[in-house]
């Protein structure tokens, strides 16, 4: 229950930042902070609704994922059915992403509307035991309702970052309507412009990283083969660094089991996933009976 309370608090923080921008924009440019705050509160609500009801469709569309039938992918269906039955969940839809970059993700607002997606590349790269570990990891995300959490966080974080950039360009080329000469509002607006993307990023990281560890643990326990999942993670990390995915949006990278996009040192430090070697080390320790989670 504490984890859910922290998640709700993070969502309130993101929405609060959104409303703060509305107040600042209303004060500095519109001359009416109430109008600005209300408009951005409504916008935050609309973003939440879109993230809740349409995030799965947006993600599947952006990665060109195709829902497949059991006749088209019988082996994949068999493994997904095994791990979902072990988790006592309804059978999700199954999708395949047309890329040789090996990876997997799950999406959907709840277990009844879940989709588990894998790339063509992961089906060629991993053994059956390794693939089972990966799919158990993704089904753990479904069971823990992580997908909704990460989708909403990513949507709001992206919206706040976009708004900050818009604020920056307006400050450069637009005009201020701060009729009351409220210099404090202008200063706060500039501070918010700088801090909001950082706050949005940190909130997204706080949600994603802890949940990846939890899904690793749950997936390893469900499959009974933590070393198979550790081996899969190692292979996936190498291949995704060598051949990152060529389409999709980095805003949704937290949905994948490993980061599918290329990144430098900054991205590795502030990435949505924990360090891969630490994930592997914890799984190896779990195989030896040592719980580091």
| 89, 113: one domain | yes
Task: Name the more confident of 188 and 16.
Answer: 16
The pTM (predicted TM-score) of the whole model is: 0.81
Is residue 118 helix, strand or coil? strand
Question: Residue 261: which of 239, 277, 245, 237 has the closest Cα?
Answer: 245
Residue ending a domain, choose from 205, 239, 255? 205
Tens of pLDDT along 58-116?
889 999 999 999 999 999 999 999 999 999 999 999 999 999 999 999 998 889 999 99
* Tokens linked to 52: 């809740």
> Is the CB of residue 213 less than 8 Å from the CB of residue 141?
no
**239 is an active site residue:** no
Say if residue 85 is in the same domain as residue 174: no
Same domain (yes/no): 140, 73? yes
Task: With a cut of 90, say whether residue 4 has pLDDT above it.
Answer: no
How many separate domains does the chain show? 2
Residue predicted with more confidence, 55 or 143: 143
Task: Check 72, 120, 130, 138 and give the catalytic one.
Answer: 138
Segment 118-130, tens digit of pLDDT: 999 999 999 999 9
Say what the pLDDT of residue 266 is.
46
**Residue of 281, 240, 280 lying closest to 263 (CA atoms):** 240
Report the C-alpha gap between 247 and 261 in whole angstroms: 9
Is residue 127 domain-shared with residue 211, that is, in the same domain? yes
Residue 3 has pLDDT above 50, yes or no: no
The reply to whether 28 and 82 lie within a common domain is no
Give residue 48's domain range: 2-56+147-205
Are 46 and 174 part of one and the same domain?
A: yes
């Amino acid at each position: 229950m504490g984890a859910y309370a922290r998640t709700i608090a993070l969502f309130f923080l993101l929405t609060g930042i959104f409303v703060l921008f509305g107040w600042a924009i209303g004060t500095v440019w519109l001359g009416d902070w109430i109008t600005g705050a209300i408009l951005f509160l409504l916008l935050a609500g609309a973003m939440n609704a879109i993230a809740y009801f349409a995030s799965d469709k947006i993600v599947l569309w952006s990665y060109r994922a195709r829902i497949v039938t059991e006749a088209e992918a019988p082996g994949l269906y068999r493994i997904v059915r095994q791990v979902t039955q072990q988790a006592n969940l309804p059978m999700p839809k199954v999708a395949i992403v047309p890329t040789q970059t090996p990876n997997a993700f799950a999406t959907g607002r709840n277990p009844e509307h879940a989709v588990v997606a894998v790339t063509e590349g992961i089906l060629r790269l991993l053994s059956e035991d390794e693939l089972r570990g990966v799919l158990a990891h993704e089904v753990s995300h479904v069971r823990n309702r992580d997908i909704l959490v990460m989708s909403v966080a990513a949507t709001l974080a992206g919206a706040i970052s976009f708004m900050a950039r818009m604020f920056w360009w307006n400050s450069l080329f637009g005009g201020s309507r701060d009729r009351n000469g409220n210099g404090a509002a202008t200063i706060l607006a500039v501070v918010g412009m700088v801090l909001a993307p950082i706050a949005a990023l940190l909130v997204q990281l706080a949600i994603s990283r802890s949940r990846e560890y939890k899904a690793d643990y749950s997936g390893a326990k469900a499959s009974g083969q933590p070393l198979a999942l550790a081996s899969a993670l190692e292979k996936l990390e190498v291949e995704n660094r060598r051949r990152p995915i060529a389409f999709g949006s980095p805003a949704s990278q937290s949905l994948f089991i490993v980061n599918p996009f290329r990144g430098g040192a900054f991205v590795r430090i502030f990435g949505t996933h924990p360090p891969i070697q630490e994930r592997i080390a914890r799984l190896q320790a779990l195989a030896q009976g040592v719980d580091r989670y």
